[in-house]
Structure 1
Amino acid sequence: MSDFGITSDGFAIKPLQEIINDKAALAREIFGDDIDLRSTSAFRQIMNIVAASDLELWKLGESSYYSCFPSTATGDALDLLGDDLGIPRRALKSHGTVVLTLEGGKNGRSYSIPAGAVVETLSTATDPAVRFRTLQRASLTNQAPTVSVEVEALARGPAGNVAKNAIKQLNPDFARAKLSFDPALVTATNANATMGGENFESDEGYRLAILGRPRTLWTLEAVRSAVIALDGVRDCRLFDPLGGVDVSQSKFSFFSFGRGRFGKQRRVGTPFYFDILVAVAPGFFWESTTGKADGVQDLVNLAVDEVRPISVFPNLRLANDVQIGLRAIIMIQPGHDADAIIGSIKDRLERRVNSLGLGNSVLYSQVIYDCKDVTGLIDIQQLHLRRNPPLMGSIAFGRSPRFNSAVIEFPIGENINLQPDEIAVFHVDSQLIDIQVSNT
């Protein structure tokens, strides 16, 4: 095997000096050993030019070779490999800044708007509203009635590039579900046009999508890959009834096992259902609200249709959001701002908890680590984790969680273990958070 070109270790370019040596040997073979190959000869100059051209051909050969593999291809070559797998390069989301303004609020009240709040342009008979979600939380009062927040479009592509002052309001559907005040009190506007939707994802991100795509058409991995890649899906889990007995079915409790067969093989052509549990990211809607398939539920159905066989249908289920909080007493170093330290604790816990997947437990040790890593904090004592909504169908032995009206408070040192259909959510302005400062 040659030391250059396609080798067992990849493609090796022949160095320029090797190309010149080969051409010099060929010249001596054709014209004789007495040919003038000194650097000052005309023949040597011509040979050097041809050798440099050959080197460019070797470079093109290397580029052509590595363009055949997703791990090394770039640009248009990577696009072609993605097209073969049915994975086009995705457009980016438009970004911008929106100013939220409170008008007519009550004195002494703070109007909290969480990260993921949906703002939008006004819809017309021909153009539907363009929606954006906020990337930062905001708090408005009569004393501080305006705040600027970063936003990104819910949909990818240039449709998210809107002109300045095009964004007007909070989305009414989001406000009814997530806010405790009239959305008409808050107006939204963008002083500058939103930009970025005309661009496409980088080679690095596109390459990861191609390499992570399962090469089998109908497996749980293939379906999960199609679902988790959708915008608005925080996490998902798949449950295949053929993988075991589903004791949650109502017939399980009333079936007479001694008198008949509990199950039988499915006949070809009869419908078969499997479950997909989906957790929705903040700012995205589960059901479509604009008359077109823009809700996460419809998008998942469309994505699964591409990888499911005939007569096999998904049964979509929305995951249960479990709000997480804590009660604790902290001791801070003299000279440090207590509110700033509490804010840092909340920010760290928000990043930690909201990165957990479906069924992942909130670990007491990780919460302690995040809290003690805050500058200016001396100690944290009597830390109790909290959750909401209440637990259902659980049996406790020994110490039990303490129930308040809408809070479950766990003993010191106890983790919050979630069910497979639950996902942890942390809001910095949640009523589940009770952090007190001790001066002793």
Structure 2
Amino acid sequence: MAFEPLVWYCQPKQNEAWTKLVDGAFGAYTLCAIDSGVLFISHLVLLGLCCYRIWLIKKNSKVQRFSLSSEYYCYILGFLAGYCTVEPILRLLMRSSIFNLNGTTGLAPYEVTSLIIEATTWCSVLIMIGLETKSYIREFRWYVRFGVVYVLVGDAVLLNLILPVKDLHNSYALYLTISTVFCQVFFGILLLVYFPNLHLSPGYLLIESDSLDDEKYEPLSGGEQICPERHASIISRIFFGWITPLMQQGYKRPITEKDVWKLDTWDQTEILIHKFHRCWEKEAKRSKPWLLRALNSSLGGRFWFGGVFKIGYDVCKFAGPMLLNHLLQSMQQGDPEWVGYIYAFLMFLGVLCAVLLEGQYMQNVWRVGFRLCSTLVAAIFHKSLRLTHESRKNFPSGKITNMITADATALQVWSLSDCCENASAN
């Protein structure tokens, strides 16, 4: 049984020219699979890389900026990128499809989506080149070159698909597509060999405190180094790339106390206890103050945020057997091969997401446990210094020490043991 949204999106044409001329496991969905799985994704990757480089040029003040000695090369690249931007827009307006044979017209939804992404991608390339004429940076430029090469690989797949049946194509759409591919190839060649002569921008002052590279971290006075997690990128936080320098150093030699990063402000006891005191002052005004409610106000945000990761992890774990059941049913029913590929890919994606979500959950729970312990120990110590002589009779030094060493630590151990039990059970 066909999946209706997929049928609407791909609009497969059974028993027509493409089905007879193209030998592929996806059958009538081959055109949609190639356009969406190759061209669409390659342009989406290039779009993300260009947007990040644009952000570096416009917003990041911690990269070294240069001015170009000559802008003519950028003008040529800009002209080619402009043509690659206009071509998909023109095909959208004229509803000219490279996949329609024998003079038929119209665009399938997957073609419209792919053309919009292609136009947006090359528009971002054009904007990036325009910004580089005013302020050029060295960071991330090779990643953009990789994105362009990826797009060229997608173009090669497209040409390999349409050239064997070029006699059945509309000549206008075919020539327009080939000219665009030629411009993209020319653009990629020029970009790969483009090493401009740079001069340091006049009046520019580089901020030395941070580095764009996630493997570096902020130097502090006395040779100490602060944990780079807060300033790491989203990708680095997801895959824990910010801890790579410490692991590399541990691989080379044993790590000592001096090698460990200094705590960032959000993990320092001084900051945590001040926040807890503010929450406790509000809680003390209630008729029945509750310590747990004050702790939730000061530390609960990250705790519940970790719960979101735990729910997502459990959902991904349950999704695997369900997808496997659907895969087996599709094999028994004799569904097309591409259905099995989709289920297999979704199973892989579910396992990948489960691993990433479990890592985020574990890291959040451990951090909340340590924050809870340090907050309670500091609060007890702070309170003990302000006890009156009469109150000290009810709270001798041994009882206070027991509260610090046993009770506060027990809450941390309980939360961490619960985390470990969940991990071992899974």
Give the shorter-chain TM-score range: under 0.3
Higher relative contact order (CA 8 A, sep 6+): 2
Structure (1 or 2) with the greater strand fraction: 1
Q: TM-score, normalised by structure 2?
A: 0.20
